[in-house]
Amino acid sequence: MHMTKEEFVELMKYPKEWLEWDMLPDIVLENQMNEYKPGHENSSEHNRNGAFQFWLRGEASEEQLIKLVKLSKLDPEKIMCRYIREKDIPKCTAFSELVADEISNEST
């Protein structure tokens, strides 16, 4: 099954902001697309978690962490994303007061 990146992102329930904010690197997307089998969309949170973890394992900047916080608030998997905001993001080197403020900001 061949699909475009945009079709795959939609199928996997990624919020459109992942692409708009350039937070879905080609390497992550290509790996996920190559591993895709029909039915994987039923557990698409695993793919989205993988995208979060790509940034959290690396050296995400403060700006990227703020984007990750915002993306986590847009994601349909609320429990996973609350954990990412409360447990994973604060462990990052670039975590700052600005990132903490974004986590606590309920309007985003």
Would you kindly state where each structural domain of the chain is located, as residue ranges? Answer: 5-104
The average pLDDT across 26-35 equals 95
Share of the chain above pLDDT 70, in %: 97
Terminal CA-CA length for the chain: 36
Determine contact, residues 74/20, Cβ cutoff 8 Å: no
* pLDDT at res. 1: 59
* pLDDT at res. 88: 97
* pLDDT at res. 104: 95
The average pLDDT across 17-31 equals 96
Tokens 């994601």: give the residue: 75
Counting Cα atoms < 13 Å in the Cβ hemisphere of 10 gives: 5
Confidence of residue 36 (pLDDT cuts 50, 70, 90): very high
2 vs 87, higher pLDDT: 87
Confidence of residue 13 (pLDDT cuts 50, 70, 90): very high
Determine contact, residues 49/68, Cβ cutoff 8 Å: no
* Predicted TM-score of the model (pTM): 0.92
What distance in Å separates the CA atoms of residue 43 and residue 67, rounded to the nearest whole number? 23
